[in-house]
Chains A and B, each alone.
Chain A
């Protein structure tokens, strides 16, 4: 950051909760349906229709809250956020305001600044405050493309209206765009991990807004903040924040003021643009939603949800380090995604070789997965098959190069390690009698070298090994070859 300045960033995340039906009615939340087909009087906001809370949304909200270190409040209140927009059928959004579902979260994330190539410099833990996670409904969508006479008409699709969202708000605790970036990735993984949300930014079921201001190091107050919207990927978000930090610092250094406003990230021009000024900001006139009683959850219910939670990634990472002797970096990478972490742990247990498993999965399997653009859960390789391969390697039945080739084939075909090894004829020859025969042939053919060796030229031992390996077409177990050669010579 430019000398003497620091950034002050707070994040707001909207995550769609993975319910089958909407938060206040029984309409499906399925994606990609005919416009306005997933609707009913409630989510259309027809006169006289009333909301009824979907308990599944509360359960998933609770999982999300617990995964992010928030405290669940036994009593929370739904509130109406009033504003006019065509995609908002009731003229208000049912949200929560002064009594949110959960609050007072403390979350530790791993974060690192990046070098010029975008590579992490040094991972460090960072603790941030999560102010609240509350439940609310999503709005519909205005559609301006691909329909007749879009120059004259706007179209509205209300399929999304009423989809349950968790809004997650942090304190202004981030000091760089990469911290915000690592935070959002942490949240995405946490929500996916506990099954609360698909948290896929490309599909729009995770949306971010960043509140950005800058100040001189040492200042304790806040300068006017800018709200950034239209951040359609974590990368765009990071770039938008970075741009905004520099824009604000430069403005102050020119002696200008920064005004409080909402700005959009312009993907094409790599800059932020004004969307609305403070004067145009809405007065949302929040008040308690009279159609819904207070949301009350018992201590017992909260305990039950806690008990049903899977082991969280950070705890799993620490356990991998402790139980399996993995490095922090390896363990951290293994818990980057739940299916990968589970795959690893199963493989480690089945093969009995946690470290070989980690090495193989992180180097070979991840490369295959990245190339194919899929997750391990979507691949043809199971932990059982992977463990089989690890064992073959551990028992020296195949060598490293062969193991890589076998894995590639397994990945492609879904065959077992044994099958591939057999097909490729990779099985290592460790049978002493077979190797003795090969050794004898080599001794016979190379009488001169044998004589040299026996005279004391120990250096040419490697030559004999090479000859035996060659004769075995590379399949002989080098260890056995060594032993037999030493005995025979």
Chain B
């Protein structure tokens, strides 16, 4: 048996076995993955990811298998084309073993909004893995794959990375093509990478980044070789410490862990400077206006006319729209479509959407002012460790507020990475978020890599492939 096939078979076995516990995958395509493994074994071309198994979030289009967005409305939807990132992964020899579970249409922070069941956190099965890319985070955390793709609209990579104790980067808006990423908030969405190590993240980010003619918002900015710059010096890097963000609402243990992490950085040569981000507190309000406005429009195409779910027993057009969307979408998606429709409505547009755009512009200046003083900014990724399943489901506002540290990066289009930096007393991972200026992915990865090497976390989650 070929080496690649043997490796992929083992990965598939692990995925299938652990999925019964974790529900991290919506689709595991064994037949496809093995066929692909055989093709690669005989291929004379050896790409950067030759034979590397990868999991892909189920809102990224794959032409050979369904792409559901964890929604009933797309339960059996099979795209006609591959997303640009998928094409790029395949061109470098990656093996996509399956599609990961998520909050429906990436709307959520806990993965409890999947139409196909919640994902469990490998560190504690009674807790959420975070969201919306919870399946990808859990699959990497449990050791099924070393890398997975996610998408991040307001923290959907960084927050689950933090909850699951893995590395997760959201690149600068425009760094990675969105072509084939099912849109949620088009001006905020960005595909990114989860990795067991910083190097894993860098290897994949290097492959998927770059200008794409099919995405007019992708940037024509050269892509550095992240992997080659990982070990570069971090001495003298100025880390911004926004003290005012370490106050109310932040869990004490998370607070002390992040403060310790900042001190750790100082001990290996980084310089710490205090900074202020006075407008960051408006981030959540602005985010939930812009994201829902764009979502209300992006999700209009799911009307039962051309593809996806269509309600049965309908007799006229309006009824078909109403019933299809009522039955096809889950509660959180409907809530956000309604919010978004409201903020764009005539008479309300200026008070909500137009004002939010103005504050968004101010937030950009706020960050640019901060980046005059420092190279990166460190905050907690989430104010708490992973919460219990069901803990916040009845309180959507509390759930929204937990995105306070992550949403602004999307609003101002800057990159951010979540780096595991400790465990709580209960043994749950804590992540710090490092934010950098536009196109500073290389610096973020360098800092992450340095931290990983100097302050490694040895503990493994309860659910872990090598235990059995």
Contact = CB atoms under 8 A, between A and B. Distances in A.
Interface of A: 41, 44-53, 80, 82, 84, 86, 89-92, 156, 283, 285-287, 290-293
B74 A290 contact: no
Contact of B300 (A49, A82, A156): A82
Contact of B179 (A50, A89, A91): A50
12 contacts: A41-B79, A45-B306, A47-B183, A48-B67, A82-B300, A82-B344, A91-B299, A285-B297, A287-B297, A287-B353, A290-B186, A291-B217
A89 B293 CA distance: 19
A52 B216 CA distance: 6
A45 B182 CA distance: 11
B301 A291 contact: no
Given A50-B178, A285-B296, 20 more contacts: A41-B80, A45-B306, A46-B79, A47-B61, A47-B67, A47-B182, A48-B79, A48-B183, A50-B214, A84-B300, A86-B317, A89-B301, A91-B297, A91-B303, A92-B300, A287-B293, A287-B297, A291-B216, A291-B217, A292-B216
A52 B297 contact: no
B268 interface: no
Contacts of B353: 287
Given A84-B321, A86-B317, A285-B341, A47 B301 contact: yes
A44 B81 CA distance: 12
B77 A47 contact: yes
Contacts of B60: 48
B457 interface: no
Tell which of A44, A84, A290 has the most Cβ of chain B within 10 Å. Answer: A290
Nearest to B293: A287
4 nearest interchain CB pairs?
A: A91-B300, A290-B187, A290-B186, A285-B344
Contacts of B181: 48
B345 interface: yes
A51 B216 contact: yes
Residue from the set B83, B306, B317, B321 with the largest chain A CB neighbour count within 10 Å: B306
Contact of A44 (B69, B179, B296, B306): B306
Contact of A47 (B74, B185, B216, B293): B74
Interface of B: 59-61, 67, 69, 74, 77, 79-81, 83, 178-183, 185-187, 213-217, 293-294, 296-297, 299-301, 303, 305-307, 317, 321, 341, 344-346, 349, 353
A86 B300 CA distance: 11
A48 B300 contact: no
Contact of B294 (A86, A90, A290): A290
Nearest to A42: B214
A455 B183 CA distance: 108
A89 B297 contact: no
A53 B215 CA distance: 10
Nearest to B307: A46
Given A53-B216, A156-B305, A287-B293, A48 B321 contact: no
Contact of A52 (B213, B321, B344): B213
B179 A49 contact: yes
B297 A82 contact: yes
A150 B10 CA distance: 54
Nearest to A91: B300
Contacts of A89: 301, 305-306
Contacts of B293: 287
A90 B182 contact: no
Q: Which of B83, B185, B344 has the most C-beta atoms of chain A within 10 angstroms of its own C-beta? A: B344
A278 B178 CA distance: 39
A483 B296 CA distance: 92
A92 B69 contact: no
B189 to A, nearest CB: 9
A50 B215 contact: yes
A41 B61 CA distance: 11
Contact of B301 (A53, A90, A283): A90
Contacts of A84: 300, 303, 321
Contacts of B74: 47
Contact of A287 (B61, B303, B307, B344): B344
A92 B346 contact: no
Contact of A41 (B67, B81, B303): B81
B80 A46 contact: yes
Nearest to B177: A50
Contacts of A51: 216
A292 B60 CA distance: 20
Nearest to A24: B216
A86 B187 CA distance: 26
B79 A293 contact: no
Nearest to B325: A84
Contacts of A48: 59-61, 67, 79, 83, 178-183
Contacts of A286: 344
A46 B61 CA distance: 10
A48 B61 CA distance: 7
B439 to A, nearest CB: 17
